[in-house]
Copies of this chain bind each other. A is one copy, B any other.
Amino acid sequence: MVRRKSDSRERMVLSAAALLREYGASATSIDRVLAHSGAPRGSVYHHFPGGRAQLIDEAVALAGDFIAGLIETGARADDPVEAVDAFFTLWRGRLVEGDFRTGCPIVAVAVETNDDAPQLARSAAAAFTRWQEALATLFVRHGLPEERGRRLAAFIIAAVEGAVIMCRAERSTAPLEAAAAEIHDLLAHALRTTGSLADPARDRDAPPP
């Protein structure tokens, strides 16, 4: 595998996202990103002329895109339950793997209002909005009214993000499981009411992973 240029830049963004998850936005300093990524100190402002704010912003965008991809994969399978499950499964895995020391990097940025970097709040909002629209579109396609679809999508994202925070504090997946169970029932009820889940036209045997 020929590597024509350094991968320091990419590693720094990935490290920044990991540090956001674990320590929050303020604690994600350039020094710590360098230590975590092993990238050389000398090229920080070469790769990120915007400095620390640009680095954090790219980490938020990367994390937002990754999660949006998970949801949109479920959406392509045209399966609301799968899309929502992907969301829960992601966080359940990350909480356990990280020994309940990691959360959502988007949340970390959103809760630390930064007067000198208002762009960060906008990036966080963009991520939430994208997730919400992906879910809402899927719900509407399965028969929910436009407004209810959007409402339910926002609600699910809120419940998951809030549950992840509680799981961290309590060092237990219980709040996430509570949310998963309640959301599962609620979603099943909402979609069954529209008749969507009973649609016999679904001829797929195994949706793509």
Contact = CB atoms under 8 A, between A and B. Distances in A.
27 contacts: A22-B113, A23-B113, A24-B26, A24-B112, A24-B113, A25-B26, A26-B112, A27-B112, A106-B169, A108-B111, A111-B111, A111-B165, A111-B168, A150-B178, A152-B182, A154-B174, A154-B175, A155-B159, A155-B163, A155-B175, A157-B162, A158-B178, A159-B179, A160-B162, A161-B161, A162-B165, A182-B186
Contact of A170 (B26, B129, B160): B129
A125 interface: yes
A169 B110 contact: yes
Contacts of A107: 111, 165
A92 interface: no
B179 A155 contact: yes
Interface of A: 22-27, 101-103, 106-108, 110-113, 121, 124-125, 128-129, 150-152, 154-155, 157-163, 165-166, 168-171, 174-175, 178-179, 181-182, 186
A138 to B, nearest CB: 16
Contact of A161 (B23, B128, B166, B186): B166
A165 B105 CA distance: 12
Q: Kindly list the 5 A-B residue pairs having the minimum CB-CB distance in the complex, ordered from nearest.
A: A162-B162, A26-B26, A158-B162, A24-B112, A161-B162
Most buried by B among A27, A111, A159, A165: A111
